[in-house]
Structure 1
Amino acid sequence: MDNMTKERIKAWTPLGRPTLGIANTEHPEQKKFETFARQCQEISAAISWRQSTQPAALPGFFLKNNILYSALPLERELLPFLKGLDSLEKPHPVNDIQKTLDNIEAPCRLTLYIALQCPHCPGMVERLIPLAAACEKIYLHIIDGSLFPDKAQEDKAMSAPCLILNDDTRWTGAVAEEEIVDMIVNKESMDLDTKALKTILEDGRAEWITQRMLTTNRLFKGFSGLLLHETWSVRLGAMVVVEALAEKAPALCSDLEKILIEVFSTKDIPVQGDILYALGEIGTPDTRNWIAAQQEALSHEDLKDAAKDAIQSIEDRLNI
């Protein structure tokens, strides 16, 4: 941290006293963020620092639960960072777009790649932090692509600023808040991916997922990923939705059934067991025959029992 940065932090008078969480990771760049936080503490008491317990793949500072800043706010990025901290106290999205933000029903992810020498990046940071501060359904991750080049390459962020919405829609260069919010609101909600649906599920809104699929008579693009997720609690939550779909819209389950059968052999035993359970809830006579054909190849006793139960469930449900 250079002397000019230190002087600017000393001179900053915040609207409140923000509390920032330091993400705890095993990443090689972790110490740089811990050092920056320690230096800030030595310079000024305006910011309260704590160790965050939120999971994070990259080092950074949690400005709020839904805002992770994986960059070191130096040089031209310091001022928008400090302005962003002020917006946490009193979020005031420009041009009176709060009503539009209030119409966002499902969580979304915005990933902004920046670089210290980028002339347009400070403006994007200054626009986006207030948006996420004003709407907890927007999960904002600001990343210094030069500090984390592997992540930038993974996300195909070749220039800065680069803004990515839910891993697909992207903008390069400066973008107006209205355009970003309009895209979030009007983007086809049934395109929600597994990550977004997982967030909704963990918020206790399995019923919302169910009702949206029943209302539109379509599966969410990422729903099957919940049933195949490595985390048991996520699969369990998805099972609740499957049970409701099986009861109220069995025809909607045919596409899901095909996906589960197709990937069955590629999954580990716990996931295979849950696939068999789901197939028991939604399966057809053809599914019953497929499960019966798999039984001989199943070596694990738990899977054999799950297959037997799934067959019985289909037979009972269809009166076979």
Structure 2
Amino acid sequence: MTILSNEMETRVREWAGPIDRSLTLKYALPGHVQDATFKAFGESLAELSGCIRLKKESDVPVACPSLFIGPHIVYQALPLDQELAPFLAVLADMSAFADRIGTDVREQLAQLRVPALLKVYVTPHCPFCPATVMTLLGLAGLSENVWLTVIDGLLFPEVAEEDRISAAPTVILDNQFRWTGSVDAAELVRLMLNRDPAELSADALRGMVEDGDAEGVARLMADRKQIFPAFVELLIHPRWSVRLGAMVAFETLVEMAPETARQVVGPLLAAFPAVDETVKGDLLHVLGESGNREALPFLSKVVASESDAEINDAATEAIAKLN
């Protein structure tokens, strides 16, 4: 499968010439119709460059085939033509576009403590998209809390439709704020800093947990004296690793702010009937850890009615913990 033109192949070889180390390009293929195209693109880069090593990620929850540069930059787009140079530059050096960000914006960005999820929709022949992408790559290169996904809206129209994309470039922050056309880095960073932590998305909190910052999630809720709605989504998440991270964060919250931790009971009782059987045992464990005895009548009903031995045992242990 031919992906790169002769001219692009030449650019890849010239880019790779001075590089004397191995660069890892990770990719994930979720069973999408475009999987083969993305794999062929990666294989072409590896063969032409000699310095790129491909690594397939098998346990990454993505809806579209994805290329990963470092831990927080994702391309759900084939960086061809004018998008190729920025892609290669940041693959070789995460801070390649840091000089596009002014000193005052850098100082503000250094204050960012919670992940900011950025999506930018591009199209292959958009004349303004590369500049916007490079600005966002600059922000991502300066802060590990800026997570960027570059999406080709024409290649994945179903995703673009879900996000109501009508033009490129379009930048979306945390699925709440959007800009069409050029984006001002200073305005973007101000919004990142002024967001209400209670309105963070489940993806943002999950990212913190998966990055090993369960304590940070707990501290945010302790400071706000509130169980965030998105945090409940993590506790009932179908993936065990996500639930485990959320439970670690919750146990930390119990130590930090026990009164806040008790608030989890209402949302979990509401969610319990709809979750999978494999999730129920974990929710019962959280109810036991909550310290909130208002959960006892519900737990007693589970013990009296539940035929699944593991769920029954989990409810019994939760009762013992609360007593």
Same fold by TM-score greater than 0.5: yes
Pick the aligned partner of 2:25 from 21, 24, 28: 21
Are the aligned partners of 2:121 and 2:151 in contact in 1 as well (CA < 8 Å)?
Answer: yes
Are the aligned partners of 1:109 and 1:166 in contact in 2 as well (CA < 8 Å)?
Answer: yes
Are the aligned partners of 1:288 and 1:311 in contact in 2 as well (CA < 8 Å)?
Answer: yes
Say whether 1:189 aligns with 2:193: no
CA 1:15 to 1:273, structure 2 compared with 1: closer, same or farther past 3 Å? Answer: same
Q: Which residue of 2 aligns with 1:94?
A: 101
1:36-185 correspondence to structure 2 within 5 Å:
36-41=41-46, 43-45=48-50, 48-53=52-57, 55=60, 57=62, 58-85=64-91, 88=94, 90=96, 91-96=98-103, 97-185=105-193
Q: Which residue of 2 aligns with 1:200?
A: 208
Deviations 1:194-218 (A, max 9, x none): 2222222222222222222222312
Opposite residue 99 of structure 2, the aligned amino acid is H
Alpha-carbon separation, structure 2, partners of 1:307 and 1:134: 47
Say whether 1:265 aligns with 2:273: yes
1:95 positional shift: 1.4
SS at match of 2:305: coil
Opposite residue 162 of structure 1, the aligned amino acid is T
Structure 2: gaps of 5 or more residues: none
Query: In percent, how many aligned pairs have the same letter?
Result: 32
1:121 positional shift: 1.1
Pick the aligned partner of 1:210 from 210, 215, 218: 218
226-235 vs 264-273, which deviates more? 226-235
Pick the aligned partner of 1:34 from 39, 44, 52: 39
Structure 1 outlier segments of 4+, above 6 Å: none
Pairwise CA RMSD: 2.7
SS at match of 2:69: strand
Are the aligned partners of 2:226 and 2:263 in contact in 1 as well (CA < 8 Å)?
Answer: no
Q: Which residue of 2 aligns with 1:294?
A: 302
Structure 1: gaps of 5 or more residues: none
Are the aligned partners of 2:112 and 2:192 in contact in 1 as well (CA < 8 Å)?
Answer: yes
Structure index of larger Rg:
1
SS at match of 2:119: strand
1:258 positional shift: 0.7
Alpha-carbon separation, structure 2, partners of 1:203 and 1:83: 25
6-15 vs 267-276, which deviates more? 6-15
Alpha-carbon separation, structure 2, partners of 1:284 and 1:195: 27
Give the aligned length: 314
83-92 vs 59-68, which deviates more? 83-92
Are the aligned partners of 1:273 and 1:303 in contact in 2 as well (CA < 8 Å)?
Answer: yes
Deviations 1:128-187 (A, max 9, x none): 112212222212110111111122223332321121222222222211121222221221
Alpha-carbon separation, structure 1, partners of 2:230 and 2:210: 15
Alpha-carbon separation, structure 2, partners of 1:101 and 1:109: 14
119-128 vs 288-297, which deviates more? 288-297
Alpha-carbon separation, structure 2, partners of 1:250 and 1:51: 43
Deviations 1:103-148 (A, max 9, x none): 1112222111100132321211121112212222212110111111
CA 1:40 to 1:105, structure 2 compared with 1: closer, same or farther past 3 Å? Answer: same
* TM-score (structure 2 length as normaliser): 0.85
134-143 vs 151-160, which deviates more? 151-160
Opposite residue 48 of structure 1, the aligned amino acid is I
Are the aligned partners of 1:15 and 1:89 in contact in 2 as well (CA < 8 Å)?
Answer: no
CA 1:126 to 1:271, structure 2 compared with 1: closer, same or farther past 3 Å? Answer: same
* TM-score (structure 1 length as normaliser): 0.85
106-115 vs 92-101, which deviates more? 92-101
Deviations 1:281-308 (A, max 9, x none): 2254442122223333312111222222
CA 1:133 to 1:275, structure 2 compared with 1: closer, same or farther past 3 Å? Answer: same
Q: Which residue of 1 aligns with 2:282?
A: 274
